[in-house]
């Protein structure tokens, strides 16, 4: 049996958290994953993650979490980043940043999975970030296995930077996926070997430029349309409140051949939440 992962895009605010809580049991029954991973950097009202929400999402069935450029928007998450083994900050932040550069996720009876996330540098100005290419190479040299099953997240604005990271680690990582732009892309595939400039090796790197988000799709990237339009059309300040219309869960299912550590399948998934049922309604 392959190692099967479900990887979910950025969880945005309460609608995203509720949609994930509703979807996870259904996705587990439908796909029988070994692990469910999610980016939770927008879980706390659209920016950051609190320890309480980390616990709530864990109880909902998410096995591990990554964070992006909003990693420290809620400063109290620093203790969770230092103490919990299933959550990481971007690896290419300065050395003194709170949290781990990578995480090892054990699967009973199967090989461990290692997860790394890095920030892109094109059009990303929130946090100082080092070269993501060199950072991933350095992290791979730190891992305790010579040929690990590596899952690499590229939290970046530019599609070109995400694609370049995919080719750079083609044949080295089992999965390279993008987050941050909240719009799912249509390019999920297994990258071929032998493309000039990409890493050597047999085919087996699953790639998608962006997973999309877990949140309201009747929105502008998860935020209320009227608030964003007011700012964009008048230049006047407006609070970018989280939207709540048509919450959905977006991500991928990836199968990885355990002996080789190479991906054999990637499939984009989307779950439309039923807001007439819990946790959207009181039980």
Contacts of 33 (CB under 8 A, 6+ apart): 4, 5, 6, 27, 253
Choosing from 70, 155, 180, 182, the catalytic residue is: 70
pLDDT score of 45 more than 80: yes
How many residues in total does the chain contain? 283
Q: pLDDT value at position 127?
A: 82
What value does the mean pLDDT take over residues 253-272? 96
Tokens of 275: 């807001």
Model confidence at 201, in pLDDT bands (50, 70, 90)?
Answer: low
107-116, 198-207, 213-222 — which is least confidently predicted? 198-207
Asked whether 261 and 245 are in contact (CB, 8 A), the reply is no
Q: pLDDT value at position 283?
A: 55
User: Which CATH code fits 3-272?
Assistant: 3.60.21.10
Q: pLDDT value at position 104?
A: 98
Q: What is the pLDDT of residues 72-101, one digit of tens each?
A: 999 999 999 999 999 999 999 999 999 999
Nearest CA among 34, 100, 94, 109 for reference residue 67:
100
180 carries an active-site annotation: no
Report the alpha-carbon distance of residue 150 to residue 71 in Å, rounded: 21
Asked whether 50 and 74 are in contact (CB, 8 A), the reply is yes
Q: Where are the domains of the chain?
A: 3-272
pLDDT score of 199 more than 80: no
Report the alpha-carbon distance of residue 252 to residue 243 in Å, rounded: 23
């Amino acid at each position: 049996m392959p190692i099967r992962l479900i990887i979910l895009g950025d969880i945005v605010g309460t609608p995203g958290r509720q949609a994930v809580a509703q979807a996870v049991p259904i996705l587990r029954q439908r796909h029988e994953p070994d692990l469910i991973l999610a980016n939770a950097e927008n879980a706390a009202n659209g920016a950051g993650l609190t320890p309480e929400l980390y616990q709530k999402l864990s109880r909902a069935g998410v096995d591990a979490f990554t964070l992006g450029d909003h990693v420290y928007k809620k400063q109290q998450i620093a203790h969770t980043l230092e103490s919990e083994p299933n959550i990481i900050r971007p690896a290419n932040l300065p050395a003194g940043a709170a949290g781990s550069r990578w995480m090892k996720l054990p699967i009973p009876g199967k090989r461990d999975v290692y997860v790394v996330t890095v920030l892109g540098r094109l059009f990303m100005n929130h946090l100082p970030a080092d070269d993501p290419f060199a950072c991933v190479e350095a992290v791979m040299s730190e891992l305790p296995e010579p040929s690990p099953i590596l899952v690499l997240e590229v939290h970046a604005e530019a599609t070109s930077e995400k694609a370049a990271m995919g080719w750079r680690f083609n044949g080295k990582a089992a999965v390279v996926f993008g987050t941050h732009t909240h719009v799912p892309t249509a390019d999920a595939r297994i990258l071929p070997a032998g493309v000039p400039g990409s890493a050597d090796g047999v085919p087996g790197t699953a790639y998608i430029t962006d997973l999309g988000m877990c949140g309201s799709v009747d929105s502008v990237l998860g935020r209320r349309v009227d608030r964003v339009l007011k700012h964009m059309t008048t230049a006047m300040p407006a609070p970018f409140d989280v939207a709540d219309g048509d919450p959905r869960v977006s991500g991928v299912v990836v199968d990885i051949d355990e002996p080789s550590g190479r991906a054999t399948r990637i499939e984009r998934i989307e779950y439309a939440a039923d807001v007439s049922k819990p946790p959207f309604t009181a039980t």
